[in-house]
Structure 1
Amino acid sequence: MAVRGISLTLHLLFLLRLLLLLPVITTQSQTILNITNRCPYTVWPAAFPVGGGRRLQPGKTWTLKVPYATRGGSVWARTGCSFDGKGHGSCQTGDCQGLLTCKGDGQPPYTSAQFSLNQYNNNSFFGISLYQGFNVPMEFLPMPVKGQGGPGCRKGPHCGANITSQCPSELKAPGGCNSACTVFQEQNNYMYCCERNCESNKYSAFFVRMCPEAISYSSDAATDTSFSCPFDTDYQVIFCPPVNLTSSPPSPPNSADLRPLRKGPSIGTSVSVAIAGAIGLIIVTFIFFIIRRRGTRRHHEMTDEEAEFDQLQGTPMRFTFQQLEAATEQFKDKLGEGGFGSVFEGQLGEERIAVKRLDRAGQGKREFLAEVQTIGSIHHINLVRLFGFCAEKSHRLLVYEYMPKGSLDRWIYGRHENSAPPLEWRVRCKIIADIAKGLSYLHEDCMKRIAHLDVKPQNILLDDDFNAKLSDFGLCKLIDRDMSQVVTRMRGTPGYLAPEWLTSQITEKADVYSFGVVVMEIVSGRKNLDTSLSEESIHLITLLEEKVKNNHLEDLIDKSSNDMQAHEQDVIQMMKLAMWCLQIDCKGRPKMSEVVKVLEGTMDAESNIDHNFVTTNEPNFGIAGNVNSSAPPVASDVSGPR
């Protein structure tokens, strides 16, 4: 009850600030609020103190008439509601004592559009409040002024980010995202917990970064986030507002200048010229038609793609290209590049970010969609966090958390590019364990199994403390729990592909094989395929076959590190774990959860294994059971346990 009372106090602060100077208003006129639901699901908008309450289906609008005598009020979206014929029930978020028509404020979390009307000084105030938490994206904008003259409006607040999908686990609530101020109290210093240094500051800043125009009691929210309009103004409240994208149709080509001849030498010549001109005109018209048709088709394709992203649920924040261009200073600092594009460093508020920009329009559409839906819907300490994306015209960009140490390949080979000493054995063990935990989560803890299908050092990123995180989910596939494998085209990187790719019938065990290759690269400090070496040493896994059969595994230990040599027996045990993962028959490989247990010392690696790790034939790879064609991931499929 104490938390509820304090929350109510916070809820009133914004209105008190606006109402202290307002006189009592007696006019019988009214302000119109057009409340529109553009969410793909039903909401139950609530209004206080003007009353009203209804079920608002997608695409529908509710016109709320607010008397000018109403000094101030708020409107919010309730979700997950159920009411009986008498208007009694409950909602997951924004519930107001179980009533369809609210007689008081709702229970957090919810986002509220708050307003105050002032006839005396011909000015009204309005804004969006996030300090109660976040329920659905919202936009609160003024409609055109009814009368003539008077001051204009400040454009209203827009909070189009789906904060709920990116909500930190500590703040999660059914149907929404709780306010950090509510979750982290410091006894009686409730307000100060958000304004001074305390546990909630890092979470409060999360709200500010995602919706900077909204009111949030965070130490980062130093600016005034209330808006003003002339008294005689109507407003619109939009739940789940669409992203405003503009697409220009292709410009028509310049037609040739077909000037008639001034004088022909004969009637035959004139007729020939006329026929040639007509044919030329037909050709130019035909070319113009084809170009225009292709341009229109491409425009429709891009529009359809953008609409495809609009309809996705559980996806991360959507940015405009202009925002990301500014955040990266016109893509100035390139961090690296891969098969589908380049990665640039940027700054978004207080957050350093990495922005991956696809190089060619139309290329990697499936991969882009897979990554937005998959990594944007799951959260794990050993998976790189996706903050958001941009799908605007031909631009396709992904916004990740910034990983200061870069990719793993820079630290285990290519030492000429890095002056730091070789990694210690302890650090290499930690990196291997982090990779295993990330893969174990994908394979076993999500609603559907997720096969990454491109596990390699270039896709493993490191933070300042050498914590490793998997990245680049563009090639991932989902596997139903009742399916043993999926049929898919060959994908991934040569040298890391499991033998079963020859059959195109793939399970998550393909990642286990790739993991084994990466472990061998980490402990040996070299590339899996290195053409600079002698012919018999080019392929690391073939060399591993030879060394284990001759009992000379110590020859493969990274010779540039004395610390690695000092831990020879431990390194050899790690190689044996890698060999268990490199079994040609996928049934003989461990689950990644078993790999984690071996690394934690709670179980031993299998010793009765086959020491042949590569094949040039097409043997039986242990494939059996149901087969399913893989489809692009759906957010609900990957939003399993966190």
Structure 2
Amino acid sequence: MGYGTSPGPHTHSIPGCSSKLPSMAPLFFLLLFGQILLCTAIDTINSTTPLSGTQKIVSAGQKFALGFYSPPSNATSSSSGNYYIAIWYSNIPTLTTVWTATTDVPVSDPTTTSFQIATDGNLVLLDQAKNQQLWSTNVSIASNSTMAIIRDSGSLDLINASNSSIVYWRSIDYPTNTWLPGGKLGLNKTTGLSQRLVPWKNSADPSPGLFSLELDPNGTTQYFIQWNESINYWTSGPWNGNIFSLVPEMTSGYNYDFRFINNATESYFYYSMKDDAVLSRFVMDFNGQIKQLTWVPSSQQWILFWSQPRSQCEVYALCGAYGSCSVNALPFCNCIKGYSQKDQNDWDLQDYSGGCKRNVPLQCQNNSTSGQTKPDKFYTMEGVRLPDNAQSAAGGTSSGECELACLNNCTCNAYTYNSSGCFVWHEDLMNLQDQYSGDGVGTLFLRLAASELPDRKKRKTAIIGGVVGGVAAVLIILGVVFFFLFQKRRRERTLRISKTAGGTLIAFRYDDLQHVTSNFSQKLGGGAFGSVFKGKLPDSTAIAVKRLDGFHQGEKQFRAEVSTIGTTQHVNLVRLLGFCSQGSRRLLVYEFMPKGSLEVQLFTGDTTALSWAIRYQIALGTARGLNYLHEKCRDCIIHCDVKPDNILLDESFVPKVSDFGLAKLLGRDFSRVLTTMRGTRGYLAPEWISGVPITAKADVFSYGMMLFEIISGRRNADHGEDTFFPTLAASKLHEGDVQTLLDPRLKGDANPDELMKTCKVACWCIQDDESTRPTTGQIVQILEGLLDVNMPPVPRSLKVLGESPNVINFFSDLSSSQTSQTQNSTATSQTHTSTSGSSQL
């Protein structure tokens, strides 16, 4: 490695290197010494072993490394040519940095730069060519006998060389954009030092960005995300002793331990992992969101576990000046009418903070003295979130006067007029959002140069009667020809569709599906696998066409998998009618569900809520559909994404499970499927994060979470600042007060026995240990009344009760002469004990 003649006490062996040294004559001493250096990795820097060039040090457990790092300059991952002292994970293939010493001081040549122990004992970065110090730990040290060591926690520590228990400085106490387990994030009340997260400017530039996450400097126990150290656009809410009040998801932190310390000298928050083998990091992203990421070894990638704000457009001024954010488009940011990107390179790196620039100067900004210069005009932007820093315009008592007030001031960029009066903007337009429906929505009139907007007067043209007559005659002839061609093609298409049926599935042509969906114009929804559009076959049969995204399988394999899904038929499964496999296009054709999804009916439907009888019917039908997939098919099909959005309802509110089998069809592993989904974190079983193999019990967990939402009529995390509904439900269930959990819109109109039974099943389904969860077959028998269900323990993840017993039963026989179906289910259930026909805890 080139760190000196003696690696010292802080060295460890490289796996795969032999500890047996060859018996060589002294003549070969140099060769022998080279092998010793090659088979040891050094985790320290001392006064005689500086770090430069391609050298690095690695922690004892080989979890982290420190050295010179060059971020990619663009999406092609080519080096930017700038180097920084950084710490990164050394035991995963994806190079992921967690700390950077000099975020705004790049090094162009690491071979002439040294990371070393200075004469005063501090750790410094020295440009040897210029004899210039670029960075220092800058702490007061009584003894200059120090050394730096990289820990398995990801922290670089400056310690006393003679007594390692004396620590002068730790990198983990000075985070940059990443907060690691064990690190503090808070405020030192004595020194005033704030330990906060600041993101990189973009993926190629680690210099500080505009956003930050820090503890409230005014002394409250809540964290803020800020823009430009001035605007707070998200808060965690104050610490209530267990969680932050606006982060109810903390109650389901399966692999995390959270602690908040608040005393006279400091206030800080830290977290640790229950399983040290799980890699997790908390990042302040350059797009203004905070994110908790977990490494999944099976897929060899980071998956998103939690993020805030949830919507990208809730980040303040994400798109910069004159940029507008849209939640329904990618990229999220675009320049408004009359403006273009100020720095295209930054936008290519998803750094939109530079904003946009005006394409054509306004009339008063133009130095031309020509009298032919046309006055500025206004472009109407409806349904937008109005920019900040509006100013009231005196005298603007009407829309016309408000427009004139803006035109008469050269610095006015836009105006709006509403019931509150006339408002104008003289500064840059910030924090715009398209298709917005929240507070502050309105119509903005944007001032542009006349050349940016069409002249209506030029549209008026005089056409002589002869030309009009000639054009009309040509159009009539063409219309007749096209009409006959259209009728002919329609008859051919109808005949072709009727002839392409092979068995029970129809092999559609792509242009036929374009026609029956009116060129995919009526979108029903979208998800992880693609978008869904409504169509109508020539015989007036309504259909739903799913256009698959991210497809990688060949033609033969695709048809084989589609054939498997097509033969998987059940009254509670959405039926596959046909498919299209043409070139790179892959589409699936399903029966149309007139009542839409359970998510629409339950959360955003009509004011008349679903009755309890219908909800119970939906819960039972869904369980039957999942049971068919798990136990009745030739190969067990694990759905992987059970949630209200994927439960569709027919005209009679009969539930049908959709999107089953698509994970295998698209050739994706489970973790990849989950990373492409949005908004489904509340349904994930804990084994997804821990990395153990996934079984059908993961669907059971998601089904249990969905049962809670069927009971309450609201999403589990939407019950108030301090309430996570599964936690409340488990508590009320043990108190015997399940009636208060019912959707208030039902006004208590529910069968008490069914309500109690549903709550118990839901709690059994979300047990931390998958072996204690029921199978879907047992759930069906319980809901049908063939099995009784005992009182479940509260899952440990809900932090209400203590550890559950090792052996747990969740049902008991209704009678000694139960049906053979019940006997078969009991025989194949999880390990249990039974005494006199009733289950024991």
TM-score by length of 1: 0.43
Q: Which structure carries more relative contact order (alpha carbon 8 Å, separation 6+)?
A: 1
Q: Which has the larger radius of gyration?
A: 2
Q: Which has the higher helix share?
A: 1
